[in-house]
Amino acid sequence: MVRSLAVLVVAFAPLVSQAQYFNRVNFFGSAGKSMTGRIGQADIETANLELGHAISPRVEFGTTFGVANIRQLKNGYNDNYGPGSRDVPAIGSTLFVRRHFGGLNSRVRPFVELSSGPLWSRYRVPAGTSRMNFLSQGGVGVTFHPSERYGIIAGWRFGHISNGGIQGDRNPGYNINVIVIGVQFHAMPR
């Protein structure tokens, strides 16, 4: 996951340096598990770059670019891809909106957030369904600002990965719970 985050930083560094529209940048990782269902259970790890714009001291929106590893069972539906599990690399992008609470000069600011966007994977996710999916998430968290220039982010997200009916009768999806930890640069204006 550290290597994935480094690749993200190098790949998007020119975009970040030229993006005057964005007034804050987050780098964060997340990890979690799906709920167990008829298609089994998956583990997910992500490394993300998030570019955001505060439209007020309490509300921001933006986009997230991420790389993920999804560990899932090889078998799905009537398809037999062999026993055991496999790691499935994936890339995605989401649009998000986030609402902060607490005093504008607070060092600790809770937030709620919503995001959604496409997710493309090397193999079908879940197995036997589709390589093209959508990831929709809702979450809560807190940003701790030890200084004006950066913040530390911690939170929890509930997400749903599915193909949105692209694969017709094969749209089971994963419901996932993840923990998010990261760093925010160019903290929101206070």
Compute φ and ψ for 161, nearest 5 degrees.
-110, 120
Residue-level pLDDT at 18:
46
Considering Cα of 95, then 120, then 44, then 26, what sign does the dihedral take?
negative
| Contact between 125 and 161 (Cβ < 8 Å) | yes
The verdict on residue 190 lying in a domain is no
Structurally, the chain folds into a number of domains equal to 1
Residue-level pLDDT at 82:
66
Residue 106 has which token pair?
A: 């607070």
The verdict on residue 164 lying in a domain is yes
Residue-level pLDDT at 127:
81
Structural domain harbouring 147: 2-185
- Kindly report the CATH number assigned to the domain that includes residue 86: 2.40.160.20
The verdict on residue 157 lying in a domain is yes
Residue-level pLDDT at 20:
57
The verdict on residue 59 lying in a domain is yes
Residue-level pLDDT at 126:
85
94-131 core/surface letters (b: 16 or more CB in 10 A; e: else): bebebebeeeeeeeebebebbbebebebebbbbbbbbb
What are the 10-residue block averages of pLDDT along the chain, 190 residues in total?
53 51 87 86 94 90 95 72 82 96 87 97 86 95 89 96 79 90 72
What are the CA-CA distances from residue 174 to residues 17, 21, 104 (Å)? 36, 34, 37
